Amino acid sequence: MNEDVFNMEIRKFLKLVGVTSQREIEEAVRNAVKAGKLTGSETLRVRVQLTLDGTGLSKTIDGQIALA
Protein backbone atom coordinates (compact mmCIF):
# COMPACT_ATOMS: atom_id res chain seq x y z
CA MET A 1 0.00 0.00 0.00
CA ASN A 2 1.30 3.43 -0.91
CA GLU A 3 0.68 5.63 2.16
CA ASP A 4 0.91 8.88 0.19
CA VAL A 5 -1.68 7.78 -2.37
CA PHE A 6 -3.89 6.38 0.39
CA ASN A 7 -3.71 9.65 2.35
CA MET A 8 -4.54 11.76 -0.71
CA GLU A 9 -7.48 9.52 -1.61
CA ILE A 10 -8.87 9.83 1.92
CA ARG A 11 -8.52 13.61 1.76
CA LYS A 12 -10.32 13.76 -1.61
CA PHE A 13 -13.15 11.63 -0.26
CA LEU A 14 -13.49 13.70 2.93
CA LYS A 15 -13.57 16.92 0.89
CA LEU A 16 -16.38 15.45 -1.23
CA VAL A 17 -18.25 14.39 1.91
CA GLY A 18 -17.82 17.81 3.52
CA VAL A 19 -18.90 19.85 0.51
CA THR A 20 -21.84 17.58 -0.33
CA SER A 21 -23.01 17.33 3.28
CA GLN A 22 -22.92 21.09 3.78
CA ARG A 23 -24.89 21.71 0.59
CA GLU A 24 -27.53 19.11 1.49
CA ILE A 25 -27.91 20.32 5.08
CA GLU A 26 -28.23 23.96 4.01
CA GLU A 27 -30.87 23.12 1.42
CA ALA A 28 -32.85 20.89 3.81
CA VAL A 29 -32.84 23.50 6.58
CA ARG A 30 -33.79 26.36 4.24
CA ASN A 31 -36.64 24.31 2.79
CA ALA A 32 -37.87 23.30 6.25
CA VAL A 33 -37.84 26.92 7.44
CA LYS A 34 -39.63 28.04 4.30
CA ALA A 35 -42.26 25.31 4.77
CA GLY A 36 -42.77 26.26 8.42
CA LYS A 37 -41.37 22.98 9.76
CA LEU A 38 -38.57 24.85 11.51
CA THR A 39 -38.48 28.35 12.98
CA GLY A 40 -34.77 28.90 12.36
CA SER A 41 -33.83 29.05 16.03
CA GLU A 42 -33.55 25.31 16.72
CA THR A 43 -30.53 23.19 17.46
CA LEU A 44 -30.78 20.11 15.26
CA ARG A 45 -29.33 16.70 15.91
CA VAL A 46 -27.28 15.39 13.01
CA ARG A 47 -25.94 11.88 12.41
CA VAL A 48 -23.64 10.35 9.83
CA GLN A 49 -23.12 6.64 9.32
CA LEU A 50 -19.64 5.77 8.07
CA THR A 51 -19.02 2.34 6.59
CA LEU A 52 -16.01 1.01 4.74
CA ASP A 53 -16.62 -2.04 2.59
CA GLY A 54 -14.27 -4.95 3.12
CA THR A 55 -13.09 -3.80 6.57
CA GLY A 56 -16.03 -4.22 8.92
CA LEU A 57 -15.92 -0.52 9.79
CA SER A 58 -19.29 0.87 10.83
CA LYS A 59 -19.19 4.08 12.83
CA THR A 60 -22.00 6.48 13.72
CA ILE A 61 -20.99 10.09 14.25
CA ASP A 62 -23.50 12.23 16.15
CA GLY A 63 -23.51 15.99 16.51
CA GLN A 64 -25.62 19.11 16.69
CA ILE A 65 -26.12 22.10 14.42
CA ALA A 66 -27.41 25.31 15.98
CA LEU A 67 -29.42 27.52 13.62
CA ALA A 68 -29.18 30.64 15.77
Is residue 36 left, alpha or beta, with left meaning phi > 0 and alpha meaning psi from -120 to 50? left
Whole-Å CA distances, 56 to 32, 50, 66: 35, 11, 32
- The structural domain count of the chain equals 1
Q: How far is CA 34 from CA 27, 28, 49, 65, in A?
A: 10, 10, 27, 18
pLDDT in tens, the chain (68 residues): 999 999 999 999 999 999 999 999 999 999 999 999 999 999 999 999 999 999 999 999 999 999 99
Expressed as residue numbers, the domain containing 49 is 3-66
pTM score: 0.91
Quote the Cα angle for 33-49-10, to 5°.
Answer: 110
Residue 9: predicted pLDDT: 98
